[in-house]
Chains A and B, each alone.
Chain A
């Protein structure tokens, strides 16, 4: 079945440390891929997206993600985390003809000072 998996439910990093959030998808071709961020009590905001071409994509707030076809992954990274990055992060994919995104279950990021 087509699915998006975020293996980590919670991640805690120290402020200033690097961050990598994992995302894997299950699909026979290359989907369109997205990362969203949700701050507490807020809606979801698009961080970045991958459609084709360069496998390293840059997003807002200093985030980047790398698409690896061989691993069916689209991991989100940030070199130095700030306390304001504490939020829930969702990976999503468009994997079939039509117009619905499939979302992962989310990863909650905690930042410790």
Chain B
């Protein structure tokens, strides 16, 4: 099925461990995003990639790095996990043409717990 695929769906890390969240889309979208969702705080943008070969910081980039591997894949890396990074992480993709964004397609999320 066409869409956005995130792996893993669940992960428990110890403080200081590293990990990479994977995201892939098969809709030929040019833009991709990583958000985190925390209770009462809505969705906060971590990083985004407007097009292949470009990445930019969002609202809460500290403690994260990203790689736009190709047009399909956009990974999020936690180099040294902290309990404050316990969250649900969503990847999204979209078509961007001209001035505007035509709406996101979201993955099903990764539930990360850092102990």
Give chain A's interface residues, CB within 8 Å of chain B: 32, 34, 36, 42-46, 49, 51, 90, 92, 94, 97-101, 103-106
Contact = CB atoms under 8 A, between A and B. Distances in A.
A100 B33 contact: yes
B106 A44 contact: yes
A105 B48 CA distance: 20
Interface of B: 31, 33, 40-43, 45, 48, 50, 58, 90, 92, 94, 96, 99-109
B48 A99 contact: yes
Contact of B45 (A32, A34, A36, A100): A100
Contact of B41 (A32, A97, A99, A105): A105
A102 to B, nearest CB: 9
Nearest to B108: A43
